[in-house]
Chains A and B, each alone.
Chain A
Amino acid sequence: MYGLVNKAVEQLVKVNFGDDKWQEIAKKAGVDQTFIMMKPYPDQVTFDLVAAASEVLDTPSKDILEAFGEHWIQFTVDEGYGKTMSLYGNSVLEFLQNMDSLHAQIRLSFPELRPPKISCEQNPNGQLVVCYQSERAGLAPMLVGLVRGLGKRFSTPVELEYLVSAEADSTSEKFLVTFSQRQVA
């Protein structure tokens, strides 16, 4: 994964738990470097960071990933990708539907990007059924947080529910997204 992702993990920990905790986590994960945002790193670095954060913060990895997904939306906006993101939708549904296109365009700058495939449909109840498929196992909770982050970005509180029971090493998941206020697509 790109350094941008690891940097986001670092920022999430620093903002919420302080620099000392980050130093502890980085040390436990064997990270002794400053991440360069546009440089690709082995996936294991990110996995080790999440595992170390889970241990140091005494929080399940799933919760860490969800928190990271939610943080990721604001992080990318802060890093200057807000304009690009706005091009891909003004609602949670629109954005999720266009996410593959967004990833395709982003690859212009991140040629080694290996993004998940995400598809989204709205059922007659106005709920969204989100299908997620990744070549990496265990990162589905990140999408949960990401959808919550999108809910915040578009001022649309959401609730998520696993349609298929989440497994730690799962590479594909299906979620049901319910809007607290009816989402107009």
Chain B
Amino acid sequence: MISPHRSHPLWFAFLLHRVSGLALALFLPLHFYVLAMALTSPEALDGFLSWTDMTIVKLAEYGLVFLLAAHFFGGLRLLALEFLPWSPRQKTLAAGAVALAFFVSTTFFLSAV
């Protein structure tokens, strides 16, 4: 349950940025571990990569790419907010970051299936 003082677009933008950041921080060690298998045990890597043909894994990748793109574009908004002259259109910019994240991740998903 979101507290009433938090129910506005820029707080949700903050939440998305924080959740996507945490999820990517948890994902990256796993990602590097799997990549390292290319050197340590290529057979195990091939076995693991065969999972990526499963629909559920493709959906998970869709979510992952969305989080990555949302964190990337949301992060650009925050950098602009902190280093460029103030723009009053922060809600529009946050919505634009989410829209771009959807565009990028859906494009990725459509070319993956």
Tell whether A and B belong to one assembly: no
User: Which residues of B are at the interface with A, using a C-beta cutoff of 8 A?
Assistant: none
